Each structure stands twice: as structure tokens, then as C-alpha cells.
Amino acid sequence: MAQAELRDGSVITVKGESVGVDQKAFIQDEEIKGTAPSLA
């Protein structure tokens, strides 16, 4: 289990740990699905 911070600042617990700290991720049904690209 891992914790993820959402865009609104709330923190949720998710399954999986395949994304590094300070990276963006796709999350679906409380599970990390993969790394999301940085659009900035």
C-alpha cells in the first residue's frame, strides 16, 4: 500500500508502489495504473 496526494490536496491510500516520489500517476479504483506525463 502507498499514499497518493490528489490535485485537491487530499491524501488517499492506493495499491501498488510503481511510481517514484514526486511523480504523477494514473490512479483508478484506488490502484496505481502507471506513470502520468508532466504537462507543464
Q: What is the domain partition of the chain in residue ranges?
A: 2-35
Q: In tens digits, what is the pLDDT along the chain, a chain of 40 residues?
A: 889 999 899 999 999 878 888 889 999 999 999 999 988 6
What pLDDT is attached to residue 19? Answer: 87
Residue appearing with cell numbers 483508478? 28
Q: pTM of the full predicted structure?
A: 0.70
Could you tell me which of 38, 16, 37 has the C-alpha nearest to residue 27? Answer: 16
